[in-house]
């Protein structure tokens, strides 16, 4: 498809389990962002990729959170030993210099519920 896609759309997990969230950016977009949206904290930046490297990880809330990007395309956000406070919608966005780097295109998000 032409837009950013994310999978799964919804994920329910038990406290203590690990989860992986996937993001497929728009083809050719070199910049990729992860954000988290929760009732208490609003929309928060998590991590930024330029190509396969992550020069800004400042928003990751703890060392249980990690992300990687391979081939300059797909990115995976991993949350280890999930906690109830991790419940949120995780949004991915991508942008490109040629596409107007300042405009970020968002995916539909993954709604994570930790029981």
Partner 1 sequence: SQQGEEDPQALSIQEGENATMNCSYKTSINNLQWYRQNSGRGLVHLILIRSNEREKHSGRLRVTLDTSKKSSSLLITASRAADTASYFCATVLRGGSNYKLTFGKGTLLTVNP
Residues of this chain that interact with partner 1 (CB under 8 A) are 4, 31, 33, 35, 37, 42-45, 48, 50, 55-56, 59, 89, 91, 93, 95, 101-109
Cβ distance to partner 1 smaller for residue 82 or 95: 95
Q: Is the dihedral of CA 87, 89, 21, 51 positive or negative?
A: negative
**Contact between 29 and 83 (Cβ < 8 Å):** no
Nearest-approach distance from CB 78 to partner 1, in angstroms: 20
Name the minimum Å distance from CB 111 to partner 1: 8
Rounded distance, CA 38 to CA 105, Å? 19
Do 75 and 13 contact (CB within 8 A), yes or no?
Answer: no
Write down the least CB distance from residue 14 to partner 1, Å: 23
């Amino acid at each position: 498809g032409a837009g950013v896609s994310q999978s799964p759309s919804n994920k329910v997990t038990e406290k203590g389990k690990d989860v992986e969230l996937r993001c497929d950016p728009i083809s050719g977009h070199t910049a990729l962002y992860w954000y988290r949206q929760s009732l208490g904290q609003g929309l928060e930046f998590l991590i930024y990729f330029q190509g396969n490297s992550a020069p800004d990880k400042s928003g990751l809330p703890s060392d249980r959170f990690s992300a990687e990007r391979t081939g300059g395309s797909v990115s995976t956000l991993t949350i280890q030993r999930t906690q109830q406070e991790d419940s949120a919608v995780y949004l991915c966005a991508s942008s490109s210099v040629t596409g107007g780097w300042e405009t970020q295109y968002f995916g539909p998000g993954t709604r994570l519920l930790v029981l």
